[in-house]
A and B are shown apart, each in its own frame.
Chain A
Amino acid sequence: GENVEQHPSTLSVQEGDSAVIKCTYSDSASNYFPWYKQELGKRPQLIIDIRSNVGEKKDQRIAVTLNKTAKHFSLHITETQPEDSAVYFCAASMVGDTGNQFYFGTGTSLTVIP
């Protein structure tokens, strides 16, 4: 089955700096890669996603890049703010007519220091 590895497990940055979280996956059949943000005691929320036919996607301060050949994808947060502090999960999914399976990384706890 699919195996998703996520690094680092914890990350501290100064407010205004950039944060980068990296994930690798093992199954070349994975074709959809969402990123979720989970604040303490709350539900995961989708923050950005990318499909396998796209190399990069940006939404304001958040961007995701995908390298299909190397089987890795990364989340980039620029101009970090204290409210960005949370746990971030990457996921790799095989999305198809027979259903959608999701495999998650182990999470990165991001702390933005004011």
Chain B
Amino acid sequence: DSGVTQTPKHLITATGQRVTLRCSPRSGDLSVYWYQQSLDQGLQFLIQYYNGEERAKGNILERFSAQQFPDLHSELNLSSLELGDSALYFCASSVGGGAIPYEQYFGPGTRLTVT
């Protein structure tokens, strides 16, 4: 157990819908990262937040957005869902998020199925 929690574990929804994935980082970690893992595209970095502020963006679609709250938990919002958004979504947390790379601890993931 990494100490990072994600809810829900599984999510099944229809195309065009909107969902919210939630992540609670390890105690003391200030950085949260979101990743998408699909069979055809592998592991893709989406976005990083550090202490409530967006820090780095990867291949995140405009239909997706995220935020980190004052208690440091983070939410990833996916809207206008398409079949291709079906994937495993991981969040990871680390102590820092700047020039010194700290180990990232991954959560168990949320499996999203869009039908």
| Residues in chain A within 8 A of chain B (CB atoms) | 32, 34, 43-46, 49, 51, 89, 91, 93, 95-107
| Structural contact, B97 and A99, CB atoms closer than 8 A | yes
A104 vs B37: C-alpha distance in the bound complex, in angstroms? 10
Bound: A40/B48 CA distance, A: 25
The number of residues on chain B lying at the interface, defined by a beta carbon within 8 Å of a beta carbon of chain A, is 25
Binding site for A on B (CB under 8 A): 2, 31, 33, 42-45, 48, 50, 55-58, 90, 97-101, 103-104, 106-109
B90 touches A101 (CB 8 A): no
Q: List 18 A-B contacts (CB under 8 A).
A: A34-B101, A34-B104, A43-B106, A43-B108, A45-B106, A93-B101, A95-B101, A97-B98, A97-B99, A99-B55, A100-B48, A101-B48, A101-B57, A102-B33, A102-B58, A103-B45, A104-B43, A107-B43
Min C-beta distance of A68 to chain B, whole Å: 16
Closest residue of B by beta carbon distance from A6: B42
Looking at B2, B56, B100, B107, the one whose CB has the most chain A CB atoms below 10 A away is B56
Whether B56 contacts A100 by the Cβ 8 Å rule is yes
Take A51-B101, A93-B101 as given contacts and tell me if A43 and B42 are in contact as well, using a CB distance cutoff of 8 Å. no
Complex contact A101–B45 (CB within 8 A) = yes
User: How far is A99 from B109 in the complex, measured between Cα atoms in Å?
Assistant: 23
- When distances are taken between beta carbons in the complex, the residues of chain B under 8 Å from A93 are 101
Docked CA distance A89–B85 (Å):
21
Give Cα A77–Cα B77 distance, bound, in whole angstroms: 39
Known contacts A43-B90, A51-B101, A98 near B106 by CB under 8 Å? no
